[in-house]
Each structure stands twice: as structure tokens, then as C-alpha cells.
Amino acid sequence: MFDMDDPIMTADVMTIRQMCDAFEVTPRTLRFYEQKELLSPIRDGQKRLFTRRDRARLKLILRGKRFGFSLEEIRQLLDLYYVGDQQATQLSRTIDIAQDRLSDMERQRAELDLAIDDLRNQMKLVEDMLAGCGKAQDAAE
């Protein structure tokens, strides 16, 4: 995905097309995050120019979304960057939200594991019934 060694990624500003290519998102996604005030590109007429700050924020937004954080949780974390305590508040809150999300994900995984086991057992029962049908038909012939 985003290669921070790429010369485009180290540029002072990037166009919307460069952002889309670098982060594998659509222009609509970038405009949506801008509308939600998660990104604040420089406006040059109709053109949007995304700064390094925007790129860092987008990287965090995409990571947060991947982990299942809500946009509101992501906004809160991004806003905490400016508290002025060397990011201690932001990092602490990130751990709290991440721990809650991890617990949710582990609970969901346990539920999925049970559902998978149940489905396998049901499939085995149907296969056994089907095999029994074949034996009964063979005996009738």
C-alpha cells in the first residue's frame, strides 16, 4: 500500500489523484473524509492539495477503519494529537479504544468458531443421511 520511501509520498503536497494511487482509495473517499473534517487539504481553486499532515492522518484513518474503529473514535484520537502532552493522552486513549475493539473481535471470533463447528456437524449429519439414502436404494434394487 503506501510506501513512505516513494518520492511522491515525501513531497510537500499531493494531488487527489496521487493520494488515491498511493493509498488505494477513491476520490469520493477523500472528499468524504474532508467533509467529515478528518482531512483538511489546501484548496487551490477546484484543486485539493494534501499535505504531509493529511497523509499521516489518512494513514491513521485507514488503519483505524481496518481495525473496526468508528469514524467518531478516529476523530477523537486525531484531535487528541494537539493536546500538548507529547501525545500521552492520545496514546493512552488509543490503547483504551484498541483494547475494547480487540475484546469485541475476540468475542466475534469465538462466536464464529462455534458457528463453524456447528455447521460442520450439521453437514456431517446430512452427509451421513445422504449416504444412508444411497444404501437403502441399493438394497431396494
Inform me whether the pLDDT recorded for 86 exceeds 90.
no
| Placement of cell 431396494 in the chain | 140
Least confident of 38-42, 51-55, 74-78, 86-90: 86-90
Please say if the pLDDT value at position 5 is more than 60.
no
Spatial distance between the Cα atoms of 51 and 1, rounded to a whole number of angstroms: 18
Architecture of the structural domain at 1-66 = Orthogonal Bundle (1.10)
One-character DSSP codes across 40-96: -PEEETTEEEEEHHHHHHHHHHHHHHHTT--HHHHHHHHHGGGSSSTTHHHHHHHHH
Ranges of each domain in the chain: 1-66
Give just the sign of the alpha carbon dihedral 11, 12, 15, 19.
Answer: positive
**Which residue type is seen at 50?**
F
C-alpha distances (whole Å) from 58 to each of 47, 105, 129, 140 are 18, 23, 54, 68
Maximal CA-CA distance, the chain: 85
Q: What pLDDT is attached to residue 90?
A: 82
Mean predicted confidence (pLDDT) in 57-80? 92
Question: Pick from 6, 92, 16: which is nearest to 51 by CA?
Answer: 16
